[in-house]
Amino acid sequence: MQLPFPIAGEPDEFAREAGRKLFAGEKEFLKGVVAMSGLPPDDRIEVCFAGRSNVGKSSLINALTGRKGIARASNTPGRTQEINFFTLADSHYLVDLPGYGYANAPLAVVEKWQKLLKQYLSGRQSLRRAFVLIDARHGVKKVDEEILTLLDKSAVTFQCVLTKADKVKAEEREKVLAQVRGRLSAHPAAFPEIVVTSSEKGDGIETLRAIVATLV
Ligand SMILES: Nc1nc2c(ncn2[C@@H]2O[C@H](COP(=O)(O)OP(=O)(O)O)[C@@H](O)[C@H]2O)c(=O)[nH]1
Ligand SMILES: [Mg+2]
């Protein structure tokens, strides 16, 4: 019996090559945006990386682009406070979103981020897929559910990406996968495949590149 939300398998040769070529192209940090009015024109394929603070969004963008430091990764949660746009070839935007669920920032600041995050996720026409990052040690948390529900309401297809897979043993990972599958099945906008990654070890990076490169 086919499990719901299977783990995305190895890409076929065509998709692997498309991913390799796309991510070998020019890539630059374009700008950090703090208001919807600052968004670049929605004239190309756009994917974003959402998730709780410290889940590994910036590290994943660094691993995908093979450019350590293009997205400032840090072990200081709440570091990324803007919507950061990266150009990839002339055809794609990679978007690093401010994290949510970070308790230590002043309430007014958190509310400002959350408002911008929700406006972006529900109002960006060129957004082809939202990758929602979930820590492979923790599974889906309440704060993630809020974003998943927002993506359902905005009819933005989202795909679950497990991060830091190098930090969990196989049996723990299966437990977390079961929890994640249970939660995703309640969300109509959930893409029916999960990607398991480690930015540290490179697991799943080629698969994710192929997924981005084959989005139309
Ligand atoms: N072991 C391990 N650590 C990771 C991985 N991805 C990110 N980290 C660490 O987790 C912390 C937060 O990463 P960051 O990319 O800044 O998270 P963000 O807040 O979601 O952008 C940093 O210390 C990273 O080095 C991974 O795949 N494996
Ligand atoms: Mg970050």
Q: Is residue 4 part of a domain?
A: no
CB 54 within 8 A of CB 77: yes
> 62 CB less than 6 Å from ligand 1?
no
Q: Is residue 5 part of a domain?
A: no
- Please tell me the distance between residue 74's alpha carbon and the centre of ligand 2 in angstroms: 7
* pLDDT greater than 60 at residue 190: yes
Q: Is residue 8 part of a domain?
A: no
> 84 CB less than 6 Å from ligand 1?
no
> 21 CB less than 6 Å from ligand 1?
no
CB 58 within 8 A of CB 98: no
Q: Is residue 114 part of a domain?
A: yes
pLDDT value, residue 3: 64
Atom 6 of ligand 1: nearest residue by CA position: 56
pLDDT value, residue 73: 62
Q: What is the per-residue burial (b if ≥16 Cβ within 10 Å, else e) of 162-193?
A: bbbbeebeeeebeebbeebbebbeebebbbee
**Could you tell which of 49, 52, 53, 54 is best to mutate to test the pocket of ligand 1, judged by most ligand atoms within 8 Å of the CB?**
54
Ligand lying nearest the CA atom of residue 78: 1
112-117 contact pairs (CB < 8 A, 24+)? 113/81, 116/33, 116/34, 116/35, 116/36, 116/83, 117/50, 117/83, 117/147
Atom 23 of ligand 1: nearest residue by CA position: 75
Which pTM was predicted? Answer: 0.94
pLDDT value, residue 89: 93
pLDDT value, residue 112: 83
Q: Is residue 1 part of a domain?
A: no
* pLDDT greater than 70 at residue 101: no
For residue 96, what is the domain's CATH number? 3.40.50.300
Q: Is residue 7 part of a domain?
A: no
Residues around ligand 2, an ion, CB closer than 5 A: 57-58, 80
The average pLDDT across 159-164 equals 98
Phi, psi of 90 (to 5 degrees): -100, 10
Q: Is residue 112 part of a domain?
A: yes
Quote the number of domains for the chain.
1
Residue 146 structural domain:
13-214
Q: What's the chain's Rg over C-alpha atoms?
A: 16
Residue 202 CA to its chain's centroid (Å): 16
In 3D space, the residue among 181, 182, 207, 185 whose CA is nearest the CA of residue 196 turns out to be 207
* pLDDT greater than 90 at residue 76: no
In 3D space, the residue among 94, 120, 150 whose CA is nearest the CA of residue 37 turns out to be 120
CB 197 within 8 A of CB 165: yes
CB 61 within 8 A of CB 13: no
Q: Is residue 188 part of a domain?
A: yes
